[in-house]
Structure 1
Amino acid sequence: MHNNDLLHTEKILADRKTFFLDLKENARGKVVKITEDVSGNRDTIMVPAEILGDFIAALSDIKATADGE
């Protein structure tokens, strides 16, 4: 993917980790690329934009459990 395919980006700092959330678009559609950077070592997952609602709902449920709700 080229940088001109980037529609939106967010950066989250957490201790020694940095998370990048990039909304990109290619011929197959929109995707969120989630990258974890730990001291220069990067791991990435791709989440199709059409399932973002399910992904966010699952994260919200996990947060509620983590928060003891």
Structure 2
Amino acid sequence: MKGERVESELLHTEKILADRKTFFLDLKQNSRGMVVKITEDVGGNRDTIMVPAEILSDFIAALSDIKETADNH
């Protein structure tokens, strides 16, 4: 059902501080599987994306490619 909340268990969390932003990376598990919840907090305003754990390798590879491009510019 749309908008339905699923109880999830926090398995691991990381916090990254960058200038005036704080990033939270939370590995959570619920009845549907594992997900990484990435939250950006800027002065109390939060934006969040959810990345299914089964595509983390693809997500990390894409970020590595982006970092390589950024490092070469």
Range of TM-score over shorter length: over 0.9
Q: Which residue of structure 2 lines up, in the alignment, with residue 14 of structure 1?
A: 18
Q: After superposition, where does 1:1-69 map in structure 2 within 5 Å?
A: 2=7, 5-68=9-72
Superimposed CA distance per residue, residues 34-69 of structure 1 (whole angstroms, 9 cap, x where no aligned partner): 000000000000000000000000000000000008
Which structure has the greater CA radius of gyration? 2
Pick the structure with more helix per residue: 1
Could you list the runs of 5+ residues in structure 1 that have no partner in the other structure? none
Matched positions, count: 68
The TM-score with structure 2 as length reference comes to 0.89
Percent of residue pairs identical: 82
- Mapped to 2, the partners of 1:29 and 1:39 lie a distance apart of 31
Which runs of 5 or more structure 2 residues have no equivalent in the other structure?
1-5
The one-character-per-residue Cα deviations of 1:2-59 (angstroms, maximum 9, x if unpaired) are 5x70000000000000000000000000000000000000000000000000000000
The amino acid of 2:42's aligned partner reads: V
The normalised TM-score by structure 1 is 0.94
RMSD: 1.4
